[in-house]
Amino acid sequence: MRVIILFALLATGCKAGDPDDPLQGTAQEGESCATLGDCEGDLVCLSVGEAGGVCSFRCDIDVNACGGSTECGALGSVGVDVCQPPESIPTADNQPAEEERTSLPCTSDAECQELAPNAVCGTWRGWSECTLTCANDNACNLPPVGGVTLSFMACDADEGDTARDICIPNEECFTNPMSCVDFGLPF
């Protein structure tokens, strides 16, 4: 059900950024896509689980552009913001189930580097998506805020290029999301 809601709400739109993307596809906002290169301009292919993707505007330029029913939220470790329903954005109180996890599907590092210069197209569980290379788990997660540390991402080998480690979802969070939240309180 969340997948249908996500695709319906993405139509509210966000402002686009740089229109000079050399990897432009032809799919427009709201149309289906398989990878980032399928979407035109500054649109990204937002995928939810294995349900396929839809072209959506990036909203990291103007967070107020998402409208009342969506929020601008980061995807994975790349730090690209896309309008999403609030319930699909991971927080300390809400970690979406694996089948509802959003991602940016890709076929090459060049596609991902259009989003962020240090991004790569990494493979995890046979699925390729934009992510970052890493040396440890800390490189994949945001620094602590107000004493709260979130560890929803982990650093592990890239299935597509075993010479590098990439940021992937922390599988321990799938069954117990609260195990990936540290409130910094001594017990």
Q: Could you list the pLDDT tens digit for every one of the 187 residues in the chain?
A: 233 223 222 332 333 334 444 456 789 877 899 888 898 887 788 887 666 788 887 887 666 656 666 677 777 677 778 776 666 666 656 666 666 677 888 999 998 998 888 899 999 988 898 999 999 998 998 888 888 888 889 999 999 999 999 999 888 888 888 888 888 765 5
Whole-number pLDDT of residue 122: 95
Contacts 24+ apart (CB under 8 A), 29-35: 29/55, 29/56, 29/57, 30/54, 30/55, 30/56, 31/55, 33/105, 34/105, 35/105, 35/106, 35/107, 35/111
Q: What is the pLDDT of residue 160?
A: 93
pTM flag (> 0.85): no
Which two three-digit tokens encode residue 171? 């599988």
> Tell me, what's the pLDDT at 19?
41
DSSP labels, 102-141: EE-B-S-HHHHHTT-TTEEEEEETTEEEEEEB-SSGGGGS
